[in-house]
Chains A and B, each alone.
Chain A
Amino acid sequence: MSTATATSTKRTIVERLTKSWLYIGLIGIGVVSFVRIVTDTDDLTGAGTIRAAIIATCPILAAALGGLWAERAGVVNIGLEGQMILGTWGAAFFTYHYGPWVGIIGAAILGLVGGLLHAIATVTFGVDHIVSGVAINLIGAGAATYLAEAVFPDYEGGGPRQLNGLEAPTQITIPGVSDLAKDVADRHWFFVSDVASFIQALTTNISSLSLVMFALVVVSAVVLWRTSFGLRLRSCGENPQAAETLGVNVYLYKYIAVLISGALAGIGGGFLALVSSSGFSTGQTGGRGYIGLAAMIFGNWRPGGLLAGALTFGYTDSLRLRDTQSVHALLLLVALGLLAFAAFRAVRKQVRGALVVAVIGVVVMVWFLATDSVPREFTVMTPYITTLFVLALGAQRLRMPAADGKSYRRGSAG
Chain B
Amino acid sequence: MRRLTKLSAVAAVAALALAGCGGSDSEGGGGDKPAASDDVCKTADGDGPKIGLAYDVGGRGDQSFNDSAYAGLEKAVTDFDATCIEGEATDGEAESAREDRLRNMAENGATAIIGVGFAYSESVNAVAPDFPEVNFAVIDGFDPDETANDNVAYLGFAEEQGSFLVGVAAAEKSKSGTIGFVGGVNNDLIQKFEAGYTAGAKAANPDIKVEVAYIQESDLAGFGDPAGGKAAATGEFDKGADVVYHAAGGSGSGVFDAAVEAGEGNYAIGVDSDQYLTATDAQKPFILTSMLKRVDTATYDFAKSIDEGKALVSYTVYDLKADGVGYSKSGGFVDDIAADIDGYKDKIIGGEIKVPTKP
Contacts and interface: CB of A to CB of B under 8 A. Distances in A.
- Of the four ranges (under 10, 10 to 19, 20 to 34, 35 or more), the interface on chain A belongs to 35 or more
Contacts of A376: 186, 214, 217
Contact of B234 (A52, A116, A149, A283): A52
A162 B63 contact: yes
A55 B231 contact: yes
Interface in B237-286: 238-239, 250, 253-254, 257, 260, 278-283
Given A161-B61, A165-B281, A46 B238 contact: yes
Interface in B9-60: 11, 14-15, 22-23, 25-26, 29-31, 33-36, 58-60
A348 to B, nearest CB: 39
Contact of B231 (A59, A278, A284, A322): A322
B253 A124 contact: no
B238 A322 contact: yes
B235 A48 contact: yes
B235 A113 contact: no
A260 interface: no
A113 B64 CA distance: 33
Contacts of A318: 231, 235
Interface residues of B, number: 58
B226 A279 contact: yes
Contact of A281 (B14, B213, B215, B250): B250
A93 B26 CA distance: 12
A282 B224 contact: yes
A15 B218 CA distance: 49
A160 B235 contact: no
Contacts of A113: 11, 14-15
A124 B59 CA distance: 38
Contacts of B228: 286, 321
Contact of A147 (B22, B35, B218, B280): B22
A88 to B, nearest CB: 11
Nearest to A167: B282
Contact of B280 (A150, A157, A286): A157
A286 B63 contact: no
A243 B337 CA distance: 75
Nearest to A322: B235
B8 interface: yes
Contacts of A225: none
B11 A277 contact: no
B221 interface: yes
B253 A162 contact: yes
A52 B231 contact: yes
Contacts of B330: none
A344 B238 CA distance: 38
A373 interface: no
A319 B26 CA distance: 41
B341 interface: no
A164 B25 contact: no
Interface string A75-117: 0000000000000000001000000000000000000010010
B224 A159 contact: no
A155 interface: yes
A171 to B, nearest CB: 10
Nearest to A155: B29
The 5 closest A-B pairs by CB, nearest first: A322-B235, A165-B280, A160-B61, A277-B226, A276-B227
25 contacts: A43-B235, A46-B238, A48-B235, A113-B11, A113-B14, A149-B61, A153-B34, A154-B35, A157-B281, A159-B61, A160-B61, A164-B279, A165-B281, A255-B4, A276-B226, A278-B253, A278-B257, A281-B226, A284-B227, A286-B221, A318-B231, A321-B235, A322-B231, A323-B235, A376-B217
Interface of A: 43, 46, 48-49, 52, 55-56, 59, 93, 113, 116, 120, 124, 147, 149-151, 153-157, 159-162, 164-165, 251, 255, 272, 276-279, 281-284, 286-287, 317-318, 321-324, 376-377, 379-380
Interface of B: 4, 7-8, 11, 14-15, 22-23, 25-26, 29-31, 33-36, 58-63, 91, 186, 213-219, 221, 224-232, 234-236, 238-239, 250, 253-254, 257, 260, 278-283
Given A151-B25, A284-B224, A322-B213, 20 more contacts: A43-B239, A52-B231, A116-B8, A153-B26, A153-B35, A153-B36, A154-B30, A160-B36, A160-B60, A160-B61, A161-B61, A161-B62, A162-B250, A272-B227, A284-B226, A286-B227, A287-B221, A317-B231, A318-B231, A377-B218
